[in-house]
């Protein structure tokens, strides 16, 4: 288990694109039963958006809250499985756009839906080691779902950014502990040159999502001496609205602690951004002193979990930028045809 | 006069989605349990029933494979296939070998592990039990064929779906205390009726789910049985076949193979239907259970629902049916299922059914069907 030495989040930001498609609309097109849809609706990028533009939006919001000059950022790492370029880092574009270049490290992380928290592991380590003063960790995705596949109902777009530093007086929250649980579990994958991922249906439940999240969280709690009573909010990766609630039940966590961080129902599964957007939503409402458990899940498979304690700084910094709910509530509905155009699903 | 056949031991794995284990492990575990239960460590031959393993695991040759796993290599061991009745077909082969006097003790195992395939792969694999050339190629599935029969049945007898949909409710009630059941919880009729269509009018809760499991029996002759301390039952098994496609039959709502195998088994056991105190019916779908009850003569045609409505099929009824949850709630790991059915009868008759024990379980009958009753095995177990 990793004990963190005064690692704080000095700024945070979430971004969700404006467009929404209702799961019912997708069901209508494919003739699916509408009684058991995994989410209500999902967020879709505009024609001029991609993972990098969303990452920039989230980073700019995080910077506003952090109140630091971007040149002080020493590392920009983007976790994503939908890089606009197969070869060329998204991190460099983001860093350039926000003015963090050139004295930085920049690279992209890929670990399915936990790439964002994986970037966070790396950034917190750099800060903890004293290699950089501030670092920017981003989870962003324009997730792919094959037309007609179960994933199409949930695969969504969004980005979340955290600026990490060491000075508690600047922090909105302190990352107290973290751990990771990883095995070779092929529940979901996309090979090179493939447009859409493959998945193994129910196999992605028990042996993948639940096994890794439960073990990651249990290890974190047991080894760092936390009990469930220490946790005020629990944020899990949200491939749909049901899985995080089941994970909470398996861990004995009160569902009321999970609900404040639920975002998938209204924006879908934003993959690498998903659990971080849940954290952003909780930071938008939590009080100083409260503790947040965050557990991501990435297919392939693994789970990072974090214990984060909210600091006094949240009160003054929260209002410096729009809350996530502003983005969630700002929406324009599109039908399947427009969605297909925005997501470049129509190939001539 | 053929030798008598006794069941001397049974072994069951829990029916589940066994993500952490393999087909080999499941059948080995069930076998070891059955051998332990019987108190034997060697057998004269082994029969393994499985339908889907050549497709889903790309694994055949299960006989030699299991013998190897058990450390019994050199023992004759054969895989047996008869669609979803593959397990019963293995029992049939094992029983006939003992009856003929060529074996004293036989290990019979049924196994399938459906979770190794995606739902669409499993659905396609299930169609190997149908006639591919005429039926499979049009895209029909096991469930769509059931749905057609279901419609015909409701039309012919003017019966509402809610009468038939009571069957899964009964099964779940019986599974509550079954340690090896896949779904040991109760459901309401509304749950069944509100579940999505699989193929209209057949709803999800009237079908079975992806399931993994293995069940095993040790069959012995009378002489061997006398030397063993384990509780025993006497087994009689008969079989019959029919056209693969129900719509080629004179009447798709009548299962002649069920009728014939039931009559043959009762006749050989010298029992009447009134002597049968517990019944295991093959509820791969609710409508199949209903038609089996009628074709086997335990209900008048078009009236099986009345047995359900009156509670006759409940544990405290006159003919307790699917006493550990049946295919719906104990689970339906295809090739293993009929061995579970027979093992469950054995547990009842040897008074080892725990909270599900039926008082006067002195004789029971299991119907095991391959396809839509294209193969029917009827197994009768009785007290010894």
CATH class of B5-119+208-383: alpha beta
Instruction: Tell me the chain B residues in contact with residue A32 when contact means C-beta distances shorter than 8 Å.
Output: none
Say how far apart CA B262 and CA A55 lie, in whole Å: 69
Say how far apart CA B128 and CA B133 lie, in whole Å: 11
Closest CA to A153 of A166, A163, A142, A144: A144
- pLDDT, tens only, A12-23: 999 999 999 999
Q: Do the beta carbons of residue A7 and residue A166 sit within 8 Å?
A: yes
- pLDDT, tens only, B4-59: 999 999 999 999 999 999 999 999 999 999 999 999 999 999 999 999 999 999 99
Question: What pLDDT does residue A1 have?
Answer: 54
Q: What mean pLDDT comes out for the span B165-173?
A: 98
Q: What is the DSSP letter of A227?
A: -
- pLDDT, tens only, A270-316: 999 999 999 999 999 999 999 999 999 999 999 999 999 999 999 99
Flag whether pLDDT at B80 surpasses 60.
Answer: yes
Q: Which residue of chain B has the CA closest to A198? A: B118
- pLDDT, tens only, A106-131: 999 999 999 999 999 999 999 999 99
Cβ-Cβ contacts under 8 Å for B129 (sequence gap 6 or more)? B51, B83, B84, B142, B244, B370, B371, B374
Q: What is the DSSP letter of A23?
A: H
Query: Is A206–B17 a contact, with Cβ atoms under 8 angstroms apart?
Result: yes
Nearest chain B Cα distance for residue A64, angstroms: 47
Query: Is A203–B115 a contact, with Cβ atoms under 8 angstroms apart?
Result: yes
Q: Phi first, then psi: what are they for B35, rounded to 5°?
A: -65, -40
Widest pairwise Cα distance in chain A: 57
- pLDDT, tens only, A307-341: 999 999 999 999 999 999 999 999 999 999 999 99
Chain centroid, CA B330 distance in Å: 11
Say how far apart CA A308 and CA B105 lie, in whole Å: 64
- pLDDT, tens only, A177-235: 999 999 999 999 999 999 999 998 889 999 999 999 999 999 999 988 899 999 999 99
Give the nearest partner residue to A33 out of B118, B196, B210, using CB atoms. Answer: B196
Q: Hey, is the C-beta of B115 within 8 angstroms of any chain A C-beta?
A: yes
Question: What pLDDT does residue A6 have?
Answer: 86
Question: What pLDDT does residue B322 have?
Answer: 98
Residue with tokens 């050199």: B74
Nearest chain A Cα distance for residue B85, angstroms: 26
If DSSP codes are grouped into helix, strand and coil, which group holds residue B149? helix
Residue-range domain boundaries for chain A: 1-343
Query: Is A207–B210 a contact, with Cβ atoms under 8 angstroms apart?
Result: no
Mean pLDDT of chain A: 96
The torsion defined by the Cα of B132, B137, B138 and B142, in degrees rounded to 10, comes to: 40
Say how far apart CA A32 and CA B11 lie, in whole Å: 41
Which pTM was predicted? 0.90
Residue-range domain boundaries for chain B: 5-119+208-383
Cβ-Cβ contacts under 8 Å for B316 (sequence gap 6 or more)? none
End-to-end CA distance of chain A: 51
Q: What mean pLDDT comes out for the span B265-294?
A: 98
Nearest chain A Cα distance for residue B115, angstroms: 8
How is B87-126 classified by DSSP, letter by letter?
Answer: HHHHHHHHHHHHHTTS-SEEEEEEEEEGGGS-HHHHHHHH
The 10 Å CB-count burial string (b at 16+, else e) for B271-296 is: beeeebbbbbbbbbbbbbbbbbbbbb
Cβ-Cβ contacts under 8 Å for B267 (sequence gap 6 or more)? none
Query: Is A35–B118 a contact, with Cβ atoms under 8 angstroms apart?
Result: no
Q: Hey, is the C-beta of B272 within 8 angstroms of any chain A C-beta?
A: no
| Token reading at A252 | 């004995």
Q: Please identify every residue of A annotated as catalytic.
A: 81, 113, 237
The percentage of chain B sitting over the pLDDT mark of 90, rounded to a whole number, equals 98
- pLDDT, tens only, A131-158: 999 999 999 999 999 999 999 999 999 9
Superfamily assignment of A1-343 in CATH?
A: Thiolase/Chalcone synthase (3.40.47.10)
Flag whether pLDDT at A3 surpasses 70.
Answer: no
- pLDDT, tens only, B207-224: 999 999 999 999 999 999
Query: Is B20–A207 a contact, with Cβ atoms under 8 angstroms apart?
Result: yes
Question: What pLDDT does residue A249 have?
Answer: 97
The percentage of chain A sitting over the pLDDT mark of 70, rounded to a whole number, equals 99
């Amino acid at each position: 288990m990793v004990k963190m030495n005064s690692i704080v989040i000095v700024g945070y930001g979430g971004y969700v694109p404006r467009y929404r498609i209702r799961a019912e609309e997708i069901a209508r097109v494919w003739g699916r039963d509408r009684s058991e849809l995994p989410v209500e609706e999902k967020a879709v990028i505009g024609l001029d958006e991609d993972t990098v533009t969303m990452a920039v939006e989230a980073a700019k919001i995080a910077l506003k809250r952090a109140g630091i000059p971007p040149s002080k950022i020493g590392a920009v790492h983007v976790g994503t499985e939908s890089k606009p370029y197969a070869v060329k880092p998204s991190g460099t574009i983001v860093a350039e756009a926000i003015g963090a270049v050139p004295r930085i490290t920049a690279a992209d992380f890929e670990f399915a839906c936990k790439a964002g928290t994986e970037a966070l592991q790396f950034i917190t380590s750099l800060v903890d080691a004293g290699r950089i003063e501030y670092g920017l960790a981003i989870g962003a995705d324009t997730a792919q779902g094959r037309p007609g596949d179960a994933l199409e109902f949930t695969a969504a777009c969004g980005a979340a950014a955290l600026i990490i530093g060491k000075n508690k007086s600047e922090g909105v929250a302190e990352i107290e502990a973290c751990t990771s649980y990883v095995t070779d579990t092929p529940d979901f994958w996309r090979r090179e040159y493939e447009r859409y991922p493959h998945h193994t249906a129910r196999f992605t439940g028990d042996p993948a999502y639940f096994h890794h999240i439960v073990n990651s969280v249990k290890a974190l709690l047991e080894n760092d001496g936390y009990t469930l009573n220490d946790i005020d909010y629990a944020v899990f990766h949200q491939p749909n609205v049901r899985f995080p609630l089941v994970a909470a039940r398996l861990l004995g966590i009160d569902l009321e602690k999970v609900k404040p961080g639920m975002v998938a129902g209204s924006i879908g599964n934003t993959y690498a951004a998903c659990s971080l957007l849940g954290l952003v939503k909780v930071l938008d409402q939590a009080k100083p002193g409260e503790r947040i458990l965050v557990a991501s899940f990435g297919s392939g498979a693994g789970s990072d979990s974090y214990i984060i304690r909210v600091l006094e700084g949240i009160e003054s910094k929260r209002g410096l930028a729009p809350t996530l709910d502003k983005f969630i509530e700002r929406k324009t509905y599109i039908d399947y045809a427009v969605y297909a155009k925005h997501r470049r699903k129509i190939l001539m | 006069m053929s030798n008598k056949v006794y069941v001397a031991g049974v072994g069951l794995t829990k029916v589940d989605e066994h993500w952490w284990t393999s087909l080999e492990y499941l059948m080995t575990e069930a076998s070891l349990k059955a051998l332990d239960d019987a108190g034997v460590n060697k057998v004269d031959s082994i029969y393994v029933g499985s339908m889907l393993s050549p497709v889903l695991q790309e694994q055949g040759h299960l006989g030699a494979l299991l013998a190897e796993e058990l450390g019994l290599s050199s023992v004759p061991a054969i895989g047996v296939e008869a669609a979803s009745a593959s397990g019963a077909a293995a029992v049939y082969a094992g029983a006939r070998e003992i009856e003929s006097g060529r074996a004293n003790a036989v290990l019979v195992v049924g196994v399938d592990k459906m979770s190794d395939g995606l739902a669409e792969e499993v659905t396609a694999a299930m169609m190997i039990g149908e006639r591919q050339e005429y039926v499979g190629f049009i895209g029909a599935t096991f469930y769509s064929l059931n749905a057609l029969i279901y419609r015909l049945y409701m039309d012919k007898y003017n019966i509402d779906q809610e009468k038939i949909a009571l069957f899964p409710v009964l099964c779940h009630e019986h599974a509550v205390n079954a340690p090896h059941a896949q779904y040991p919880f109760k459901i309401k009729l509304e749950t069944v009726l509100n579940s999505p269509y699989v193929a209209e009018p057949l709803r999800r809760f009237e079908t079975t789910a992806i399931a993994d499991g293995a069940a095993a029996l040790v069959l012995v002759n009378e002489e061997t049985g006398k030397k063993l301390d384990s509780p025993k039952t006497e087994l009689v098994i008969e079989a019959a076949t029919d056209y693969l496609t129900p719509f080629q039959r004179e009447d798709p709502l009548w299962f002649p193979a069920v009728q014939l195998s039931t009559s043959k088994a009762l006749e050989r056991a010298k029992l009447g239907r009134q002597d049968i105190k517990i019944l295991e019916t093959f509820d791969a779908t609710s409508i199949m259970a209903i038609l089996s009850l009628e074709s086997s003569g335990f209900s008048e045609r078009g009236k099986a629902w009345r047995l359900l409505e009156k509670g006759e099929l409940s544990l405290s009824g006159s003919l307790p049916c699917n006493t550990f949850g049946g295919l719906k709630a104990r689970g339906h790991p295809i090739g293993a299922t009929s061995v579970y059915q027979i093992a469950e009868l054995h547990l009842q008759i040897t008074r080892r059914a725990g909270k599900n024990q039926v008082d006067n379980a002195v004789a029971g009958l299991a119907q095991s069907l391959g396809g839509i009753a294209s193969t029917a095995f009827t197994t009768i177990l009785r007290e010894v």
